[in-house]
Amino acid sequence: MDGKGRATDNICLERFWRSIKYEEIYLNEYKNIKSLNRAIEIYMNSYNRKRLHSAIGYKTPNEIYYQTVNNLDPEGAKLLPLVS
């Protein structure tokens, strides 16, 4: 992803990895890789299912994802209008 104008292409993932490092990994000591993997799994579940994100209207990523998936046009990639 190098090149002119590509700096923001993966900003969401960069922000996620910064969050997990500073909020979980750097704060804890892990006995082995298995315990680290479990801690990351727990963090990711919380991040996606419980944590509200201001950038997406104080909703969880799962809410946005499933709202979009359930609202897809059966014919293909077109989104149907959201009904509130």
Instruction: Please provide residue 28's backbone torsions phi and psi, each rounded to the nearest 5 degrees.
Output: -125, 160
Q: How far is CA 36 from CA 18, 50, 82, in A?
A: 16, 20, 39
Distance (Å, rounded) from C-alpha 32 to C-alpha 42?
Answer: 16
Could you report the per-residue pLDDT of 26-48, keeping only the tens digit for each?
Answer: 999 999 999 999 999 999 999 99
Q: What is the pTM of this model?
A: 0.70
For residues 51 and 43, the answer to whether their CB atoms sit within 8 Å is no
**Average pLDDT over all residues of the chain:** 83
